[in-house]
Chain A
């Protein structure tokens, strides 16, 4: 199973990107994570360009389409989804009936340096992905105090659980 891993943070030392790298280390046999690094190149969504999207947007849509599943690690900005990540999803959601995320298995996880591990951003992200028609796995991994916890065993267990939930969500589609 090929999993596209998307970090909602652009910062080079991002805890969420690090969380995805940790997820790659914990991936069970047969699950391969590919870290997507195109977020910074995505321009602001403009409906005028929807039918002929910029190259970076098309590349993003293709990357999602070509993946069996998607794993998103999101930080939380002002109690919600980072603008850049939401913007990329808004591009990918169009046109709604045939969008790249439609029926795509997705797991959402998140990290923050505070205590709560981006739980609100994760909840909003699940809502957005559900509306887009994604197959959102019923799993939550909120890694608080991320700067000191990425190697903790409970975080590693959480990552394995998130990937297993993703594989379980994806399974019938792969079998078919």
Chain B
């Protein structure tokens, strides 16, 4: 006989991101498909029930060098004046493997509330004896609220780039 227990507890104590096994990125509808990119230099932690993350805008990358330069320019992330984008939670709700996290996202110096949704895995002990917890999270933001208004019209008059951008975080946090 087995018993299923719906976990609702948020891990206590301090957990820091193993950034090699974590990822941070965005997806945005562009013309007929989805354009994506990632931020490689970031950190994240879960401490006393608060999830925090910060990422360096100069590490924002897409597959084309010129587009990377454009995304770091004042029209988009303005990496010269806004070195970091951040997230700080103010409420985490867990229901089994599902998780919802309310917090504030700051991009380009502009702070907006956001709710991240996704899954939580663990805590579980890994093959080296460390205890890890995983979060797979996403949220959709309106980029124009963060002073990123660039667009180009398609021949049919529709804008080439969507304003709705999905931000994705895949975090592995290790118990300190």
Interface size class of A (residues with CB under 8 A): 10 to 19
B-contacting 9-mer, from A12-20, A22-30, A128-136, A150-158: A128-136
Check if A103 sits within 8 Å of B69, measured CB to CB: no
Chain A residue numbers with a CB within 8 Å of B162 are none
Q: Tell me the complex Cα distance, A96–B72, Å.
A: 11
Check if B65 sits within 8 Å of A97, measured CB to CB: yes
Check if A97 sits within 8 Å of B69, measured CB to CB: yes
Chain B residue numbers with a CB within 8 Å of A65 are none
Judge if B35 is at the interface, Cβ distance under 8 Å: no
A-contacting 9-mer, from B73-81, B93-101, B124-132, B164-172: B73-81
Check if A133 sits within 8 Å of B81, measured CB to CB: no
Chain B residue numbers with a CB within 8 Å of A173 are 80-81
Judge if B150 is at the interface, Cβ distance under 8 Å: yes
Chain A residue numbers with a CB within 8 Å of B66 are 96-97
- In angstroms, how far is the closest chain B Cβ from the Cβ of A102? 7
Chain A residue numbers with a CB within 8 Å of B65 are 96-97
Given contacts A103-B80, A172-B81, contact A133 B74 (CB under 8 A): yes
Q: Tell me the complex Cα distance, A102–B69, Å.
A: 9
What does the 1/0 interface line of A101-140 toward B look like (CB < 8 Å)? 0110000000000000000000000000011111110000
Chain A residue numbers with a CB within 8 Å of B73 are 102-103, 130, 132-134
Listed from nearest, the 10 A-B pairs whose CB atoms lie closest are A133-B73, A97-B69, A135-B74, A103-B80, A130-B75, A96-B66, A96-B69, A172-B81, A133-B69, A97-B65
13 contacts between A and B (CB under 8 A): A97-B66, A102-B73, A103-B73, A103-B74, A130-B74, A130-B75, A133-B70, A133-B72, A133-B73, A134-B73, A135-B74, A172-B81, A173-B81
B residues at A contact (CB < 8 Å): 65-66, 68-70, 72-75, 80-81, 150
Give 17 A-B pairs besides A103-B80, A130-B74 with Cβ atoms closer than 8 angstroms.
A96-B65, A96-B66, A96-B70, A97-B69, A102-B73, A103-B73, A103-B74, A130-B73, A130-B75, A131-B70, A133-B69, A133-B70, A133-B73, A134-B74, A135-B74, A136-B74, A173-B80
